[in-house]
Amino acid sequence: MGETDDLDRALVERVQKGDKRAFDLLIRKYQHKLVSVISRYISDWSECQDVAQETFIRAYRAIGNFRGDSQFYTWMYKIAINTAKNYLVSQGRRPPKDDIAVDDAMLLDGGAWLKDRATPEHELMRQEIEQTVFDTVEQLPEELKTAITLREVDGLSYEEISEKMGCPIGTVRSRIFRARDAIDQKLRPLLSDTQGHDHD
Amino acid sequence: MTDQITHISLGRAGQSAEQLSALMDGELAGDQMRFLLRGIEAEPDLAQRWSRFHLIRAALRHEVVVMPLRADFSANILGRLDGEAIAATTIGARRHGMVRWVGGGAIAAAVAVVALVVSGPVGDNGLPGGKSSSGTFAAQGAPSATVRGAYLPLRPANTLQKPELVLPASDETILQNLYAPDGSVMPRDYFSQGAEPYVLYVNPQTHRVDAPLPVQSGAPQK
């Protein structure tokens, strides 16, 4: 999506100027996606996270060379694949010969891959989180539910949502935030239960 | 109306959170983004909220399997990067110090070379133009007009095994007269005609002379 590219570019520029807060946002934005990619190469969840962290460190060191010719995520994806392969070699394991192209990786159901490998505890956690998100969306007031659905599922911009819902852009922005905030309130206890634990 | 009331009731933290929500949709102006990033530093909860908002997005879009990561996933990365930055700074400072040290040494060496080159050959008889030998007096070019007149023990450079005294750079080591080992003052002519180079060691602590010595003149007395 265009706004993702623009946002990433803006954040990368700030990182290149030495703003680590911007890099923090990039980490938090892509951490789940990258761990998911790495999990195709490394089955252990703890190792996946280690390799993902190493990926971000390498990306930070090399970010001065990132010129924006490709999407930031595509660039990160390649670093993640290389880091995962190097990790396997360092462990005396053989990395897979065939890579999954980044575009294919986006289309593939990474969920199925991880679901197969997840421990019962992880699987339970995953189901609980996803269920909480969808249940909360269902319980939202209609205007909030419509706004968040048009944004997250249909991928419309605020202006497009504004036209569809017949309200000012400021209202769209507010509704989307309130919907997210409502879901976040429900999600927070679940995640705070897990904080401090190493989900291996 | 309900939207307006809710919006008004948002506190500062709520407004930042709403901006965060707009940021992840690419709907925040550049200036606002800059202020928001500063706010994230002051309010760590905003960064965690940013993570959860993306988790919600991932779940709604079925992008990835939503699995909780370590609580300190990002903090650990940033901590390592901070550690690298500190290490790099320390190494840089050490290198800078080394450069300064080497530079100081190079300057000292250059001064010594100039002193050796400026000094002309002196014959065995102590007169210019003769064969060089291990002479008995040394020359010290002293452009300053100030005369302190202190006796300074002189030793040939080749007899020195190891410097006993090291002068701090800030010390004044202005020597105006030529002295023979017996303490007699050499004539100024020798100074201009050339002299055997000697290394001169001065310890301002042990060779401090409060009372000015009488200025002598004339040929060396052997």
Contact assignment for A24 to B21 by CB distance below 8 Å: no
Can you read off the two tokens belonging to residue A127? 């189901």
Q: What is the DSSP letter of A64?
A: G
Q: Rounded to two decimals, what is the model's pTM? A: 0.62
Among B26, B69, B74, the residue with its CB nearest the CB of A35 is B69
Q: Which residue carries 């060779």 as its tokens?
A: B207
**Which residues of chain A does B71 touch, with a Cβ-Cβ cutoff of 8 Å?**
194-197
Angle subtended at Cα B47 by Cα A180 and Cα A3, rounded to the nearest 5 degrees: 65
Contact assignment for B67 to A118 by CB distance below 8 Å: yes
Q: How many residues does chain A have?
A: 200
Residue B211: predicted pLDDT: 52
**Which residues of chain B does A2 touch, with a Cβ-Cβ cutoff of 8 Å?**
26
Residue B39: predicted pLDDT: 85
CB distance from B41 to chain A under 8 Å?
A: yes
Size of interface A-B (CB pairs under 8 A): 170
CB distance from A130 to chain B under 8 Å?
A: yes
CB distance from B70 to chain A under 8 Å?
A: yes
CA B157/CA B198 separation, integer angstroms: 5
pLDDT band at B66 (very low <50, low <70, confident <90, very high): low
Residue A57: predicted pLDDT: 97
Contact assignment for B65 to A137 by CB distance below 8 Å: no
Q: What is the DSSP letter of B199?
A: B
Give the range among A65-79, A184-198, B30-44 with minimum mean pLDDT.
A184-198
- How many angstroms from the chain centroid is the CA of residue A3? 15
CA A66/CA B113 separation, integer angstroms: 50
Residue B126: predicted pLDDT: 43
CB distance from A93 to chain B under 8 Å?
A: no
- Tell me the residue type at B66: V
Residue A139: predicted pLDDT: 97
Residue B94: predicted pLDDT: 61
Does residue B138 have a pLDDT over 50?
A: no
Cβ(A190)–Cβ(A156) below 8 Å? no
DSSP string, B38-92: HHHHH-HHHHHHHHHHHHHHHHHHT-S------TTHHHHHHHHHHHHHHHHHHHH
- Tell me the residue type at B50: W
pLDDT higher at B165 or A105: A105
Cβ(B65)–Cβ(A39) below 8 Å? no
- Tell me the residue type at A51: V
Average pLDDT over residues B152-158: 44
CA A186/CA A76 separation, integer angstroms: 31
pLDDT tens per residue, range A7-39? 899 999 999 999 999 999 999 999 988 998 898
Residue B2: predicted pLDDT: 46
CB distance from A178 to chain B under 8 Å?
A: yes
Among A21, A110, A183, the residue with its CB nearest the CB of B65 is A110
Among A115, A151, A167, the residue with its CB nearest the CB of B65 is A115
Is this complex's ipTM strictly greater than 0.90?
no
- Tell me the residue type at A17: K
Contacts of A47 (CB under 8 A, 6+ apart): A87
Contact assignment for A21 to B40 by CB distance below 8 Å: yes
pLDDT band at B1 (very low <50, low <70, confident <90, very high): very low
**Which residues of chain A does B78 touch, with a Cβ-Cβ cutoff of 8 Å?**
20, 23-24, 27
Q: What is the DSSP letter of A130?
A: H
CA A101/CA B80 separation, integer angstroms: 30
Where b means 16+ CB within 10 Å and e means fewer, A161-189 reads: bbeebebeeebbbbbbbbbbbbbbeebee
pLDDT band at B27 (very low <50, low <70, confident <90, very high): very high
Can you read off the two tokens belonging to residue A79? 């670093």
pLDDT higher at B199 or A100: A100
pLDDT tens per residue, range B35-59? 888 888 788 889 999 999 999 998 9
Residue A159: predicted pLDDT: 96
pLDDT band at B194 (very low <50, low <70, confident <90, very high): low
Angle subtended at Cα A148 by Cα A3 and Cα A105, rounded to the nearest 5 degrees: 55
DSSP string, B93-135: HHHHHHHHHHHHHHHHHHHHHHHHHHSPPB-TTS-BTS-----
**Which residues of chain A does B7 touch, with a Cβ-Cβ cutoff of 8 Å?**
170, 174
Average pLDDT, chain B: 64
Angle subtended at Cα A178 by Cα A176 and Cα A183, rounded to the nearest 5 degrees: 100
Contact assignment for A53 to B77 by CB distance below 8 Å: yes
Residue A103: predicted pLDDT: 57
Residue A8: predicted pLDDT: 92
